[in-house]
């Protein structure tokens, strides 16, 4: 394993000693989560630095989505630590993590089907709004959480200038993200999401995540179910995001795309990170070839029985 692979497993202390490397945005150490007897994620450690695109690949069921769910807060780990800009977040609920700048898309694609495309993107920024959502600290308290909700409702009715200003800024951000997808989404801004093609629903979801202007963007198979042309378009958009300095953790099966866009690749198998390094390093790693080919061989043998 080369230098980049070492970086993936380096401890936070030694990482901070390296002055020239950009600060880690994300530090994951010993992350584990089981479902009954299934160890979906079993002691995974890695770091993602500012502006890096780190891909997580691996055979079906190897724990990629579970890892993203643990990062995004949909799941809490059984053990292990997750730090965002040095701050422990592994016990925080998903909404708090969104407030701290983590945005995600889902493997199976999730949009609000009956909302227009623009509203789907607008709501992606909800965790970021401050004037519109007063008393943010109370939101996470069990009994007092109704207070900020009531205040939010009142502000929505009264519409003071500060709220109106914030909402027009949010509308502008929505427009910016829709424009990123050019003729695909912009002309359909008023269409309800359920009328969109599959690929456009997935684009809407990516635009929604980007509307948060995330510190860390988590993408779970953004090109799943897309044809070659659509996949190439997503690749271009990922390269644009990378050029803008967006930090990304990408789960993806399409190896060509992974090899083109990633700074580093982490390979999972049966809940563990079995290899990490630059795209070229992992491509030539025997354990990676075995994890993929060994699995396929076993499947072929099972099928021929
Ligand atoms: N909510 C759950 N309840 C029970 N088992 C789960 C749950 N989520 C995941 N698993 C199991 O954990 C393992 C890892 O699943 P995960 O979805 O993380 O894999 P993956 O690498 O994303 O696979 P794929 O490439 O097919 O999307 C699998 O054995 C899966 O069946
Ligand atoms: Mg998955």
Q: How far is the CA of 233 from the centre of ligand 1 (A)?
A: 28
Contact 55, 265 (CB under 8 A): yes
Q: How far is the CA of 57 from the centre of ligand 2 (A)?
A: 10
Question: What is the dotted CATH code of the domain comprising 1-101+214-305?
Answer: 3.40.50.300
Domains in the chain: boundaries: 1-101+214-305, 111-213
Does residue 122 register a pLDDT over 80? Answer: yes
pLDDT tens-place string over residues 268-288 = 999 999 999 999 999 888 888
Q: Kindly state the tokens that stand for 9.
A: 């497993």
Mean pLDDT, residues 192-215 taken together: 95
Nearest to residue 63, comparing CAs of 24, 32, 100, 105? 32
* Pocket of ligand 1 from Cβ distances under 6 Å: 35, 38, 40, 58, 60-66, 107
The residue whose CA has the least distance to atom 29 of ligand 1 is: 61
- Cβ neighbours around 53 below 10 Å, total: 23
- 56, 61, 109: which to mutate for ligand 1, most atoms within 8 A of CB? 61
Nearest to residue 94, comparing CAs of 8, 12, 209? 209
The residue whose CA has the least distance to atom 30 of ligand 1 is: 61
Burial of 75-110, coded b for 16+ CB within 10 Å and e otherwise, reads: bebeebbbbbeeeebbebebebbbbbbbbbbbeebe
Atom of ligand 1 nearest to the CA of 268: 21
More confident residue, 82 or 155: 82
Which of the residue ranges 8-12, 81-85, 115-119 would you say has the lowest mean pLDDT? 8-12
Mean pLDDT, residues 241-264 taken together: 96
Does residue 7 register a pLDDT over 50? Answer: no
* pLDDT, mean over the chain: 88
Question: How do the residues of the chain divide into helix, strand and coil, expressed in percent and rounded to 5?
Answer: 50, 20, 30
Does residue 82 register a pLDDT over 80? Answer: yes
* Secondary structure (3-state) at 54: strand
pLDDT tens-place string over residues 8-32 = 444 444 444 445 677 799 999 999 9
Contact 265, 70 (CB under 8 A): no
Q: Kindly state the tokens that stand for 244.
A: 């803008």
Protein residues near ligand 2, an ion, with CB under 5 A:
64-65, 107
**Per-residue pLDDT at 300:** 64
Contact 247, 97 (CB under 8 A): no
**Per-residue pLDDT at 295:** 64
Cβ contacts of 220 within 8 Å, gap of 6 or more: 64, 65, 68, 104, 105, 106, 107, 251
């Amino acid at each position: 394993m080369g230098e980049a692979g070492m970086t993936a497993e380096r401890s936070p202390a030694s990482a901070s000693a390296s002055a020239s490397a950009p600060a880690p945005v994300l530090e994951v150490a010993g992350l584990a989560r089981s479902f009954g007897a299934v160890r979906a994620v079993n002691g995974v450690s890695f770091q993602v630095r500012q502006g890096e695109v780190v891909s997580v690949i691996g055979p079906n069921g190897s724990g990629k989505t579970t890892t993203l769910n643990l990062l995004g807060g949909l799941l809490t780990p059984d053990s292990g630590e997750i730090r965002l800009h040095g701050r422990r977040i592994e016990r925080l609920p998903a909404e708090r993590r969104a407030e701290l700048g983590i945005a995600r898309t889902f493997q199976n694609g999730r949009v609000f089907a009956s909302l227009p495309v623009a509203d789907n993107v607008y709501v992606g920024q909800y965790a970021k709004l401050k004037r519109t959502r007063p008393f943010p600290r109370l939101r996470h308290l069990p009994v007092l959480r109704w207070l900020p909700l009531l205040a939010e409702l009142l502000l929505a009715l009264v519409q003071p200038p500060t709220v109106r200003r914030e909402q027009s800024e949010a509308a502008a951000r929505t427009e910016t993200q829709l424009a990123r997808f050019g003729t695909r989404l912009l002309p359909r801004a008023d269409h309800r999401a359920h009328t969109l093609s599959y690929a456009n629903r997935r684009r809407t979801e990516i635009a929604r995540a980007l509307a948060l202007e995330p510190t860390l963007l988590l993408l779970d198979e953004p090109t799943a179910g897309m044809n070659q042309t659509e996949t190439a378009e997503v690749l271009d958009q990922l390269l644009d995001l990378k050029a803008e300095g967006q930090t990304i953790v990408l789960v993806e099966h399409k190896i060509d795309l992974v090899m083109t866009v990633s700074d580093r690749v982490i390979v999972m198998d049966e809940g563990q990170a079995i290899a990490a390094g630059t795209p070229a390093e992992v491509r030539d790693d025997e354990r990676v070839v075995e994890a993929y080919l060994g699995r396929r061989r076993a499947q072929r043998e099972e099928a021929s029985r």
